[in-house]
Structure 1
Amino acid sequence: MKFSVNWLREFVELPPSIEALAELLTMSGIEIEAIEKRGGNFDHVVIAQINESKPHPNADRLGVCIVDDGSGTKRQIVCGAKNYKVGDKVPLALPGAELIGGLKIRASKLRGVESEGMLCSPKELGIAEDAAGLLILSPEAKIGAPIRDLFPPDTVFDVEITPNRGDLLSHFGLAREIAALTSKKLVGAAVSAAKSDKLPPVMTGATALTISALHECPFYSARRIENVKVGPSPDWLRAKIESVGIRSINNIVDVSNFVMLELGQPTHAFDADKLDGHINVRSAGEGEKFLALDGKTYALTPHNLVVADDQRAVGIAGVMGGEETGVTDSTKDVLLESAYFLPASIRRTARDLNLPSDASYRFERGVDPQMILAASQRATELICEVAGATAARTIAVAGKLPPNPSDVSIRYERADELLGIHIEPATADEILTRFGLVRNDSANRLESHWKIPSYRCDLQREVDLIEEIIRAHGIEKIPSEDRSRFTPLSAADRNYDFEAKLRRDLVALGLSEARTSSLIARSEVARANGAIELRNPLSEDHVALRTTLIPGLLAAVERNIRAGAERIALFEIGNVFAPPNGEQQRKLAIALCGQATSTKNWRAQKRRALDFFDLRGALNALGTFEFRCSKRSGFALSAEIFDGRDRIGHGGQLSSASSLGLMTPVLAAEIDLATIAQATESAERFKEIDRYPAVTRDVAMFVGLEVTHADIVEVIAAANEPLLEKVELFDLFMENDAKELSQARKSLAYSLTYRDKNRTLTNEEVSAAHARIRERLRNDVGAELRE
């Protein structure tokens, strides 16, 4: 809903600035969607009267007007509007004026005729959205007066009202809220109208007014107003409703809209002479037709509530009046309706008919029952003022006003618990009193009981009162407190992150993840070394818990081979169940088979098969592991895998490749993830780039076949040379001409890197260290060094 700040200011003293008012409303939970500047705050825009009008000699759609702007000199204005007549008073923008959108006015010729300004529409002045014609002013408007005298500058708030706050759907309601938030007093005509001593006598039991649907319409009032003169609204009334986007129709309808915007209670004026018989509020008949004010005919159902006379429905209750009984220029007497309709009934009707209106918007959210007669009185007074009418002395009513909301209690200690701060009971009582609540018990510092005003049906529970207290006290006054607590990663979190990184790394190496069943077939149980069998297996293929991931991966390899795959590189991360008690362990298994590359390329015309070193390379990409030769059933070449001193798994080349019809080896490895996960828990360490150069020396030797690469690396490490940084094997050659196997030898060549982090090494230092290592190799492994 849109609210005029000037209008609000008539009821309550506002904060000193628009920004402060917006902040106040926002912090109290009232959302402001937009702020607009309105009104005729323009220089060189005055009130002028049209004295003459004639057609434009060169344009059929233009006219030439002679206007009086009060300066003593008649001005000629070319105008394209058609809604004026001689004698009308209209806004005139003189040369030098700047209107909405930056439009600058200057004297110019339009189709050959001189124009000394521009006659303005409401939209061009920012007063309303209507741009169809000129803004026709009241005959009482003073010629030559600035337009800002009639339409003072204003600010309009577009406010999003929550469904539970129907009491805020009026300028009086929002002003009442501002007064409560700022401890100010309400003033103005609307306040006087709401007082019961200002209301006229009520006539009950009138035979001309009945309610057949008391549940949907508990209370209905009607007042006859005679001798009305329907016509344009005075400028002040028109300016008020148009400032918030309501189009002016005539003085009677405009008064009804004005009261709705001011007090929040919709009213409706019927042409009394078009009503036939008495008024009855009833449910519509099935298929009953109704011609509404929007010109459309609606088919009604018994779920729709209508206001009817003896012959037909004359209004859809709480939604829209009828075209046949609407106020027109010929209307002499009106019947003014003001009632209470059940919100659920109005909501259903507006939805079923797809007919939302300003009235239904308010009735759906609930209107203040105590404002019904006050709004009727306010509208009656204004109609008599602007239309020269005479009102009946009494108001005819039927039904009873709905009761006020039930009392609500509040415990002050509970309020402190919910808010997290202490608010003195006296302060809480003072705030609730400002919001219109009345305490109805004796002084008690522990709790209190409150009578809820009729317009606050949303206050139903203790927490609602606590919310009102903190809204007025200031939510921003609750001190901020950091109650967050650092929660360290759990073991499950660390394992999840570790495995996620492991998967990313393996995929980056060109492997694909496989997921195999954790249950194995009966035929594999014997080879599984004590696998735990299920008591009620689903099938012969799922009878026991697996003890290793490798068989499942190999089955996947076999299926891929049969499907024609040339390169197979799979990995699986999963649980195995170790005998004898089925201890669950997390493992990683890798299986490789086929070609190192799936296609030929210009760099490698000859394709290479995957081998043990590809398997080892994949594992070493995950960590620095040591491979020690071993013998294992089912493997043609096997190695135990160590992480430091801990054995973490095994791997090698399987001896079953030929049984699968393969000419290339099948390689598999399985390692324990728990051990290496613990080793990687520490934060990553970054190594500083070396500042000083390294020196590389080679050593080549003949050794017996029984001497392994690991033996040689161990001997070099045992030398404990502080300058030695890295050892790399770069050449291997096997002799084929030995007469006996015991005499066979192999040639190994290593590259040794020396470096000092604090200085540049001399040739003498490197030669000395290298000589000591050579001597140790000669003595410990019987190496025959090659020069």
Structure 2
Amino acid sequence: MKFTLSWLKDHLGTDADAGAVADALTRIGLEVEGVHNPGAALSAFRLARVLTAAPHPGADKLQVLSVDAGEDPVQVVCGAPNARAGLVGVFGPPGAHVPGSGVTLKVTVIRAVESWGMMCSARELGLGEEHDGIVELPADAPVGAVYPAWAGLDDPVFDVSVTPNRQDCMGVRGIARDLAAAGLGTLRPLEEVVASRIPPRIRAAPAKAPPPLAEAPGTGAGPLVRTEDPVGCPAVLAQAVSGVTNGPSPEWMRRRLAAIGQKPIGALVDITNYLMIDLGRPLHVYDRATLAGPLVVRRARAGESVVALNGRRYALTPQMTVIADDREVHDIAGIMGGERSGVRDATSDVLIECAWFEPEGIARTGQALALASDARTRFERGVDPAFLDEGLAIATRLVLDLCGGTAGAVTRSGEAPLRTRAHAYDPALAGTLGGLAVAPERQRAILESLGFAVTEDWRVTPPTWRRDIDGPADLVEEVIRIEGLDKVAAVPLPRVAGDDGGVARPTATPEQKRERRTR
């Protein structure tokens, strides 16, 4: 699970730096595999203005530029077709390491003309695949400024290893909730977080902007969508949006997706990928022009297959849940969509699908097909069954805000299993079972901050996003890890003679002992 520090701070009100966040994650049992700052690799690069651009005397496709990077103008030989006087771009001085090419710049001579650095493309900076020309920045960008600081790239990226039982931490918000419970900051209301991402032009027009978590108002009937596999897919919701424009997603969204290794594709796909990482809620968007008849969640039929978005064809079996229309299978449910119905640049009418899939079935299908995906990683752990309506509402709202169009009504089929039950809990277990005495009211505060409901007589009900909680021992684990695993004293178990307890006696045979001595 990867996310950036700024992304985390969308959900978590805190002044903590990357080091403090990493320490807190470790204390509460979320293993940090790494933290790196992509902006650090670009710290030598500066914003620069091209003062003059003249043809190279010895090469038709090269120009000799005079570049102002905040100090005395320097001469740079450049082959970019868009290089011109007045352009503001990114300059790498001698000594700077170019991450996209692995080259360390030095003063060089190109066709008998000295060049003191380079003006860089996005690919050379490691920020994208664009290499047809150098980066073009706003004309009023501050010449001489450090590029990553100005561009907001000084944003540490966390890589957290999430164990299979912590499905709630497969989204940035779940991790923020844990950190808030541990006292690192305040969990911001989700409605506030979603509203902050609305484009200013829409935020300024309340009449056009319904509450962010409310169902987007629709016109006309909802799409024809239903589930015929109540075990594999107990519930599916869908909403159609007509007249969308599938252009690039906003810069802030592209930047965050790229920072964690997700390639930005286009607004419609980027929205679903962003919400999957942000809220742990996978969704899928279909191009309605490719669909024939109702969209049905069912078991695959013998002999059916589908070409997935990765371009590979998969043979399906009747044990697998799929999403199909009257003509063909379009989706390996909960794992990967089909190539035929995927959205494209020219897509104008879409159907947004939000479903709950049975985790064990998703795991079996993924294993049988040897097919991994970010969606599978979340569905096989178990996404929040109570977050279908809100998840679809947020996705539809973003599509309307970023791509335009008109929404139809929502279609709901089936009912998600809200499997929550109360557990009798004794606060004394924190000391006897967890090895750390914690005041009862502190335990109550911890559990409630994690979303648990706690009655006066200590009946504790887990939130819908915590399907891993199965009894009092799990509640002790929650209390102890948030209080701080580092506070649990390391106490050796007593060695007791005989076989009635304590540390087990050594079991190495005489032959094994001789081998160890020999080695």
TM-score range for the pair, normalised by the shorter chain length: 0.7 to 0.9
- Partner Cα separation in structure 2 for residue 4 and residue 344 of structure 1: 31
Whole-angstrom distance in 2 between the partners of 1:352 and 1:284: 14
Amino acid at match of 2:424: S
In 1, Cα distance between equivalents of 2:282 and 2:50: 36
Aligned to 1:187: 188
2:187 is equivalent to residue 166 of structure 1 = no
Aligned residues of 2:34 and 2:160 also touching (Cα < 8 A): yes
**For 1:269, which of 273, 278, 285 is the aligned residue?**
285
Post-superposition CA distance 1:645-665 (Å, at most 9, x none): xxxxxxxxxxxxxxxxxxxxx
Say if 2:434 is the partner of 1:419.
yes
Q: 1:193–1:377: 8 Å Cα contact kept in structure 2? A: no
Amino acid corresponding to residue 228 of structure 1 in structure 2: V
Paired residue for 2:294? 278
- Aligned residue among 250, 254, 261 for 1:234: 250
Q: Once the 2 structures are TM-superposed, how far is the Cα of residue 312 of structure 1 from its aligned partner?
A: 0.9
- Worse overlay, 325-334 or 44-53: 44-53
Mapped contact 1:50–1:67 kept (Cα < 8 A): yes
1:219 maps to which of 235, 257, 272: 235
1:403 aligns with 2:422: no
Pairing 1:252–2:268 present? yes
Which secondary structure state, in structure 2, belongs to the residue aligned with residue 245 of structure 1?
Answer: coil
Per-residue deviation, 1:71: 7.6
Alpha carbons of structure 1 residues 301 and 172: separation in structure 2 relative to 1, 3 Å:
same
TM-score by length of 1: 0.54
Partner of 2:346: 330
Q: How far apart, in 2, do the equivalents of 1:320 and 1:49 lie?
A: 46
> Match for 1:469 among 461, 474, 479?
479
Structure 1 residue identity aligned to 2:371:
L
Determine if the alignment matches structure 1 residue 438 to structure 2 residue 453: yes
2:393 is the counterpart of 1:377: yes
Q: How far apart, CA to CA, are the structure 2 residues paired with 1:265 and 1:53?
A: 53
- Gap change, CA 1:413 and 1:304, over 3 Å in 2: same
Q: Is the 8 A contact 2:120 2:134 kept in 1?
A: no
Deviates more, 1:476-485 or 1:241-250: 476-485
Are residues 1:346 and 2:362 paired? yes
The verdict on how the C-alpha distance between 1:240 and 1:212 changes in structure 2, with shifts beyond 3 A counting, is same
Read off the aligned partner of 2:327 and give its amino acid letter.
Q
Query: Given the superposition, is the C-alpha separation of residues 421 and 32 from structure 1 closer, same or farther in structure 2, using an over 3 Å criterion?
Result: closer
Say whether the 8 Å CA contact 2:384–2:465 is kept in structure 1.
Answer: yes
Change (3 A) 1:94 1:123: closer
Q: For residues 20-78 of structure 1, what are the alpha-carbon distances to aligned partners after superposition, in whole Å with 9 as ceiling and x for unaligned?
A: 2222111211111112121375244337799999999769xxx5468897889998653
Q: Equivalents in 2 of 1:13, 1:277: separation in Å?
A: 47
Kindly indicate whether the alpha-carbon contact (under 8 Å) linking 2:212 and 2:393 is maintained by their aligned counterparts in 1: no
C-alpha displacement of 1:211:
0.8
- Give the aligned partner of residue 513 of structure 1: none
CA distance in 2, matches of 1:212, 1:86: 61
| Distance (Å, rounded) in 1 between the aligned partners of 2:290 and 2:369 | 25
Residues 191 and 213 in structure 2, CA contact (< 8 A), matched pair in contact too: no
Q: Is the 8 A contact 1:98 1:104 kept in 2?
A: yes
CA separation in 2, counterparts of 1:371 and 1:323? 27
Q: What is the deviation of 1:357? A: 0.7
- Tell me whether 1:210 sits opposite 2:220 in the alignment: no
Aligned-residue offset at 1:364: 1.0
> What is the Cα deviation at residue 398 of structure 1?
1.3
CA distance in 2, matches of 1:317, 1:85: 48
- What CA distance in whole angstroms lies between the structure 2 residues aligned with 1:220 and 1:487? 60
- Report what 2:468 is aligned to: 458
Partner residue, 2:93: 95
Is the 8 Å Cα contact of residues 386 and 418 (structure 2) preserved in structure 1? no
Alpha-carbon offset, residue 116 of structure 1: 5.6
**Alpha-carbon distance change, 119 to 411 in structure 1, aligned in 2, over 3 angstroms:** same
Relative distance call for 1:117 and 1:383 in structure 2 (3 A) is farther
Q: Matches of 1:230 and 1:68 in 2, distance apart? A: 39
Within 1, Cα distance between the matches of 2:394 and 2:22?
A: 29
Deviation sequence 1:259-315 (CA, Å, 0-9, x none): 111111111111122212211111112121211111112211112221112211111
The reply on whether 1:36 has 2:47 as its aligned counterpart is no
Does the alignment pair 1:292 with 2:293? Answer: no
Whole-Å separation in 2 of the counterparts to 1:425 and 1:210:
47
**Higher RCO (C-alpha 8 Å, min separation 6):** 2
Contact 1:137 1:235 in 2 (8 A): no
Q: Distance in 1 between matches of 2:52 and 2:347?
A: 31
Partners of 1:191 and 1:371 in 2: how far apart?
A: 17
1:140-151 equivalences under 5 Å are 146=145, 147-148=147-148, 149-151=150-152
User: What CA RMSD, in Å, does the superposition of the two structures yield over aligned residues?
Assistant: 3.9
SS for the counterpart of 2:78 is: strand
Q: Is the 8 A contact 2:272 2:282 kept in 1?
A: yes
Asked if the contact 1:228/1:333 (under 8 Å) is kept, the reply is yes
Q: Are 1:313 and 2:311 counterparts?
A: no
Q: Is 2:465 the counterpart of 1:449?
A: no
Partner of 1:39, secondary structure, is helix
SS in 1 for 2:23: helix
Superposition deviation, residue 112 in structure 1: 5.1
Instruction: For residue 366 of structure 1, report the CA deviation from its aligned partner.
Output: 0.8
8 Å CA contact 2:47–2:89 kept in 1: the answer is: yes
Structure 1 pair 50/235, CA: closer, same or farther in 2 (3 Å)? farther
Secondary structure of the 2:293 match is coil
**2 CA distance for matches of 1:56 and 1:454?**
70
Question: Against the structure 1 CA distance between its residues 119 and 171, is the aligned structure 2 distance closer, same or farther, given a 3 Å change threshold?
Answer: farther
- 2:223 and 2:411 in contact (8 A); partners too: no
Give the 3-state SS of the residue equivalent to 2:364 in structure 1.
helix
**Secondary structure, aligned partner of 1:411:** coil
How far, CA to CA, are the matches of 2:372 and 2:442 in structure 1? 42
Residues 276, 283 of structure 2: 8 Å contact kept: yes
Q: What's the counterpart of residue 19 of structure 1?
A: 19
After superposition, give the CA deviation of every residue in 1:377-409 in whole Å (9 maximum; x if it has no partner): 22223223332x124153222111221422222
Output the amino acid matched with 1:438: A
Q: 1:422 to 1:242 in 2, by over 3 A?
A: same
Q: Distance in 2 between matches of 1:141 and 1:304?
A: 55
Write out aligned runs for 1:466-545 (5 A). Answer: 466-485=476-495
Q: Deviations over 1:339-378 (max 9, x none)?
A: 1111112112221111111111111111112223323222
For residues 201-220 of structure 1, the C-alpha deviation after alignment (integer angstroms, 9 at most, x for no partner) is: 69999571111112111111
Distance 1:132 1:222 in 2: 35
Kindly indicate whether the alpha-carbon contact (under 8 Å) linking 2:2 and 2:158 is maintained by their aligned counterparts in 1: yes
8 Å CA contact 1:50–1:66 kept in 2: the answer is: no
- In terms of Rg, which structure is larger? 1
Question: In 2, Cα distance between the equivalents of 1:6 and 1:187?
Answer: 14
CA change 1:85–1:17 in 2 (3 A) is closer
Secondary structure of the 1:431 match is helix
Alignment-derived partner of residue 198 in structure 2: none
Distance of 1:368 and 1:326 partners within structure 2:
25
In structure 1, what is the Cα distance between the partners aligned to 2:347 and 2:443? 53
* 1:426, distance to aligned residue in structure 2 (A): 1.5
What's the TM-score once normalised by structure 2's chain length? 0.80
The separation in 2 between residues aligned to 1:392 and 1:138, in whole angstroms, is 36
| Aligned 8 A contact 2:246 2:267 in 1 | yes
Calculate percent identity across the aligned residue pairs: 31
Structure 2 partner of 1:746: none
Higher strand share: 1
